[in-house]
Amino acid sequence: MARIGLIGCGSIGSTITEAAAKGVIPGVEEIIAYDAIPGKCRELQEKYGELVKCVENIEEIIKARPRLVVEAASQEAVRQYGQTVLGAGIDFMVMSVGALLDDSLRNSLVETAVKNNAKIYVPTGAIAGLDAIRAARIAGIRKAELITRKPPKALGLGDIKEPKTLYEGKAKKAVKEYPKNVNVSAALSLAAGIEAKVKVVADPHTERNTHEIIVESEATRIHIVVENKPSPTNPRTSYLASLSAIELLRRILQDKGLIIGS
Ligand X SMILES: NC(=O)c1ccc[n+]([C@@H]2O[C@H](COP(=O)([O-])OP(=O)(O)OC[C@H]3O[C@@H](n4cnc5c(N)ncnc54)[C@H](O)[C@@H]3O)[C@@H](O)[C@H]2O)c1
Give the residues lining the site for ligand X (CB under 6 A): 7-13, 35-37, 40, 72-74, 76-77, 80, 95-97, 125-126, 180, 183-184, 187, 234, 237-238, 241
Closest CA to 18 of 251, 255, 239: 239
Output the smallest distance, CB 71 to ligand X, in A: 8
* Burial label, 247 (beta-carbon count in 10 A; 0-12, 13-18, 19+): middle
Q: Which is nearer to ligand X, 257 or 261 (CB)?
A: 261
**Contact indicator for 51, 21 with CB cutoff of 8 Å:** yes
Whichever of 36 and 219 has its CB closer to ligand X, that residue is 36
What is the rounded CA–CA span in Å between residue 164 and residue 204? 9
Is the CB of residue 127 less than 8 Å from the CB of residue 188? yes
- Minimal distance in Å, beta carbon 7 to ligand X? 6
Which position's Cβ is nearest ligand X?
A: 10
Is residue 211 annotated as a catalytic residue, yes or no? Answer: yes
Closest-CA residue to 98 (of 179, 9, 200, 35): 179
Smaller CB distance to ligand X: residue 9 or 141? 9
Among residues 53, 150, 199, 211, the one annotated as catalytic is 211
> At closest approach, how far in Å is the CB of 139 from ligand X?
25
Nearer residue to ligand X within complex by CB, 217 or 238: 238
Phi and psi at 159, nearest 5°, equal: -70, 130
What angle is formed at CA 14 by the lines to CA 8 and CA 15, rounded to 5 degrees? 125
The minimum distance between CB 13 and ligand X, in angstroms, equals 6
Catalytic residues: 211
